Amino acid sequence: MTTSTPAPARARLEVGPHYKWLVLSNTTIGVLLASMNATSLIIALPVIFRGIRLNPLDPANFPYLLWIIMGYMLVTAVLVVTVGRIGDMFGRVRIYNLGFALFTLGSVLLSVVWSHGSAGALELVFMRMFQAIGGTCLMANSAAIITDAFPTEELGLALGINMVAGIFGSFFGIVAGGLLSEAGWRWVFLVNVPFGLFGTVWAYLKLKEIGVHHRARIDWLGNVTFAAGLGMLLVGVTYGIKPYGRALTGWGNPFVREMIVGGLALLIAFALIERKVREPMFRLSLFRIRAFTAGNIAQFLAAIGRGGMQFMLIIWFQGIWLPQHGYSFQVTPLWSGIYMLPMMLGFVIAGPVFGRLSDRFGARPFATAGMVLSAVAFLLIMAFPPDFAYVPFAGAMLLSGISMGMFASPNTASIMNSVPARDRGVASGMRVTFGNAGMPLSMGLFFTLMVVGLNAKVPGAMMRGLTAHGVPAAVAGQLSHLPPLGYLFASLLGYNPLGKLLGPAILSRLPAGQAAVLTSRSFFPELIGAPFKHGLVLVLTFAVVASLVAAVASALRGSRFVHEEAGSTIGNGHRAAPVPAGPPAAAAPGGDGLGDGLGDGAAGTARAPGDGTVSPAGEGTVQGGGHGGP
């Protein structure tokens, strides 16, 4: 039997006019903490692996490296919809508070990993995945809690500020990871603890349950099939990056194919189950809302188009540009974060501004323009040579950051405004899932395209370069045909790639002068620069196409749409701002007949743009002709 917390009970809960800013402050700390933790870990990985006495570039240890980088992301993508649904059922604030506590506990456990070698790496992987459960609780419910607390006309601004914190945390984490690892790798995790404790206590004492709760039975079959299906799919894509046998990538690995096919089959089963079960984990009828569907498709395509781009830029800076400008490989992780700050600055500027503008004019023009501008920024980056002039390149990164801000906060506000209040948690979870699933897919595609581009150019260049400096032809031939992923990850982790590939055994047999040249700051960047650019053109071409398709999806969301429910209030005590109705349905050209309401019988009303009527509470229908054109 299902029950709903009545709107009048929520209305009686006095939270005060300033409560919305308290919500924004606390959720911003949560987002900042989670995003900073993710990137600081990447920068500190060499120090962490030295601390547990394990070489991350040893082929036998590559799975540990892959899971430490990707495990958090995979757990989040798999669980976030389920956690959002649980928040809708039992209270978003309650699950959010639990997330803060679990994330903090995970940080403590990571800082006290006690083993060395492969055992220590496994402990890091499992503790990191445990921490991801807490991060999932934060991510799944923060946008829903903000949507509950803010009036419709301020939601874009609030979400824009919240997302700026996420982007700032990502880039600040790069700097923090470099600085903290100097003090010791455990500090990379320990630094989260005081902020996590403060956020947990503050959230417990101050945040209130003002959203709609819809108690229901847990759809165990739906939860299991969705989690298993998405998990198998993303694991398959992740292992597609890993070389298999003589192949440069793992797409021919039977395990990869089985995981992808099995995952897709389970996701199809999930869709069939959700159509039959009485109380589904995710109401597929939400996808009948044009703004919700188009916004999530655009989110997914945007994540695919730019999810792996940060890694490509980091490799470009760390493996090529910074060493050519006098930086040792050991310090390139820190400085790459500093030199990429213009991208963060662009998002910081654009996120709140365009979030606020979308509150007034709707999400479609800004989100769509943001993806078009993203394609333009990628084309500009494509035009730069491997050893570029920094100031114009910084301008291109600034433009890319602005495009991210133009898209992200308006698109999120559009998605969250489009669903009934009782479904905000699961809708936020689905939004995060589309973004987080797009990230590993993007990395798989980007690294595959980069490997294809590098393999077309590197073997000949490396063979000539190594033999010219005294490396035996047999050794040079073997090294030149190694999978490019080895030296790409060496650059990503701040190692001298040729120093790692050649190793002390070979370098000790060469004349001192030749060995010094081969391991110098300039030799590898000059060797790899042109091939890397060739691969990058393939990557950026794909990113441009994905961004433009995302722009089309964004444009198809329709005009501004806000789902309203009769009698519902939000945290500041005001009704959601009504959306001006368009002309009657009969006069609206291009209507698709679907409507933007949900026919589920929930108490409430739904308003469709281009439709002058509103369905009475409880009827579960939308009168008239739906959208009335795009």
Q: Which two tokens stand for residue 539?
A: 């990557």
Q: Are residues 32 and 141 in the same domain?
A: yes
Closest by Cα among 143, 534, 520 to 316 = 534
Closest by Cα among 337, 331, 329, 330 to 311 = 337
Question: What's the CA gap between 246 and 265, in Å, rounded?
Answer: 29
Q: Are residues 95 and 243 in the same domain?
A: no
| Cα Rg of the chain, angstroms | 25
Q: 517, 532, 547 — which closes off a domain?
A: 532
Q: Are residues 132 and 265 in the same domain?
A: no
- The stretches in the chain having pLDDT less than 50 are 1-13, 565-630
Q: Long-range contacts: 194-200, Cβ < 8 Å, 24+?
A: 195/29, 195/33, 196/33, 196/100, 196/101, 196/103, 196/104, 196/107, 197/104, 198/29, 199/26, 199/29, 199/30, 199/33, 199/100, 199/104, 200/97, 200/100, 200/101, 200/104
Which CATH number belongs to the domain containing residue 213 in this structure? 1.20.1250.20
Question: What's the CA gap between 13 and 470, in Å, rounded?
Answer: 78
pLDDT at 626: 33
Which amino acid does the sequence have at 542? Answer: F
Q: Residue 49 domain-assigned?
A: yes
Q: Are residues 213 and 160 in the same domain?
A: yes
Q: Residue 128 domain-assigned?
A: yes
Q: How many domains does the chain have?
A: 4
Q: Are residues 491 and 621 in the same domain?
A: no
Name beta bridge partners: 307: none
Query: How do residues 107-124 score in pLDDT, each as one tens digit?
Result: 999 999 888 888 999 999
pLDDT at 605: 36
pLDDT at 255: 93
Q: Residue 478 domain-assigned?
A: yes
Question: What's the CA gap between 13 and 451, in Å, rounded?
Answer: 57
Q: Are residues 66 and 212 in the same domain?
A: yes
Q: Are residues 31 and 113 in the same domain?
A: yes
CB 557 within 8 A of CB 414: yes
Domain of 616 in residue numbering reads as: 581-630
Q: Residue 555 domain-assigned?
A: no
Q: Residue 410 domain-assigned?
A: no
Query: How do residues 525-548 score in pLDDT, each as one tens digit?
Result: 888 888 888 889 999 999 999 999
Q: Are residues 183 and 41 in the same domain?
A: yes
pLDDT at 168: 75
Q: Are residues 492 and 596 in the same domain?
A: no
Q: Are residues 209 and 241 in the same domain?
A: no
A 10 A CB-CB count for 459 gives: 18
Q: Are residues 76 and 186 in the same domain?
A: yes
Q: Residue 310 domain-assigned?
A: no
pLDDT at 609: 38
A 10 A CB-CB count for 613 gives: 14
pLDDT at 212: 62
Q: 175, 190, 218 — which closes off a domain?
A: 218
Q: Residue 313 domain-assigned?
A: no
Q: 230, 250, 280 — which closes off a domain?
A: 280
Q: Which two tokens stand for residue 4?
A: 């709903």
Question: What's the CA gap between 585 and 607, in Å, rounded?
Answer: 12
pLDDT at 564: 61
Q: Residue 540 domain-assigned?
A: no
pLDDT at 265: 95
pLDDT at 191: 85
Q: Are residues 226 and 187 in the same domain?
A: no
| Ramachandran class of 503: left when φ > 0, alpha when ψ lies in -120 to 50, beta otherwise | left
